[in-house]
Amino acid sequence: MVQSKADSKGGGVILITLMVAMLLDIMPLPEMIELFRPEWVVMVLIYWVMALPSRIGVFSGWFLGLFVDVLKGSLFGINALSFALVVFLIQVLYHRLRLFPQWKQALNITVIIGLHRLLVVNLTGLVEPVSSDFTYWLPLICIAVLWPWLFILLRDIRRKFC
């Protein structure tokens, strides 16, 4: 199958936004702020799946998850499986999610990322002891607050470059 120029337009923008998200994920922060660090890569991935579901799929989520596993030094394949599941859920729900007001969209995205974090902590717990006290769930607050702003920023980038 031959891709037209219109189909391939904007692929670099998607990669750049995902790389920036990866940098934000590993950027050192003060300990108090670190507790609230959102899942940048998952949030950006969710946006691109919602915006361009025909271009970003489960395989893209799996592959990106493998990169994140290497980047964070986590158990190989855990983020890959979790990202693939998140992409699948978004692909099933994106028609509804796109119609929701921003606050409702933020709540739904927060729940989906909460499922991602739950899967990661449970799968990691099968192999090594993990602590999942309430501080593990603090980033979800930040995700709910930041989602509308991230959505607007990425939407403007997509409209300008894609």
Whether 16 is in a domain gets the answer: no
Q: Which has more confidence, 128 or 22? A: 22
Of all helices (H) and strands (E), which one includes residue 65? helix 58-72
How far apart, in whole angstroms, are the C-alpha atoms of residue 114 and residue 91? 17
Domain span including residue 130? 37-161
Given this model, what pLDDT does residue 8 score? 57
Domain assignment present for 42: yes
Q: Answer yes or no: is 30 within a domain.
A: no
**Is pLDDT above 90 for 14?**
yes
pLDDT digits over 112-124, tens only? 999 999 999 999 9
Place of tokens 């921003």: 102
What does pTM read for this prediction? Answer: 0.91
Q: At 132, is the pLDDT very low, low, confident or very high (cuts 50, 70, 90)?
A: confident
Domain count, the chain: 1
Instruction: Categorize the per-residue pLDDT at 4 as very low, low, confident or very high, splitting at 50, 70 and 90.
Output: very low
CA angle, residues 28, 83, 78, in degrees to nearest 5: 75
Between residues 4 and 38, which one has the greater pLDDT?
38
**Is 103 domain-assigned?**
yes
